Amino acid sequence: MKAGVPITLRLTSVDNRYHTDGGGQHQWAVDELDVSVVAPPLGNNSVTFTPDTPGTYTFYCDICCGGRANPSMQGTLVVEA
Ligand SMILES: [Cu+2]
């Protein structure tokens, strides 16, 4: 991403409500950017935000599969100047 440029992020869950962990919901959140969006089972949800400060941020899902402590439920967002 570019600092100061707004984006709309759309998160899709491909799990149904019978998914044993989290009931099919998934999340995309970055604490430092005060962004969190939750997608419903077999649905999507979106959030628009503007990162102001360049840096490297960790995004995570804290709903399923052990939550944010699970390395597979995390990723890296890079915001460039
Ligand atoms: Cu998830």
Domains of the chain: 7-79 (2.60.40.420)
CA–CA separation, 47 vs 2, rounded Å?
Answer: 16
Of 19, 25, 81, 73, which Cα lies nearest the Cα of 53? 81
How far is the centre of ligand 1, averaged over its atoms, from the C-alpha of 52 (Å)?
26
How far is the centre of ligand 1, averaged over its atoms, from the C-alpha of 64 (Å)?
5
Please say if the pLDDT value at position 68 is more than 90: no
How far is the centre of ligand 1, averaged over its atoms, from the C-alpha of 40 (Å)?
11
The whole model's pTM is what? 0.91
* Percent of the chain topping pLDDT 70: 100
How far is the centre of ligand 1, averaged over its atoms, from the C-alpha of 17 (Å)?
13
* pLDDT digit string, tens, across residues 14-59: 999 998 888 999 999 999 999 999 999 999 999 999 999 999 999 9
How far is the centre of ligand 1, averaged over its atoms, from the C-alpha of 66 (Å)?
9
Of 28, 22, 24, which Cα lies nearest the Cα of 14? 24
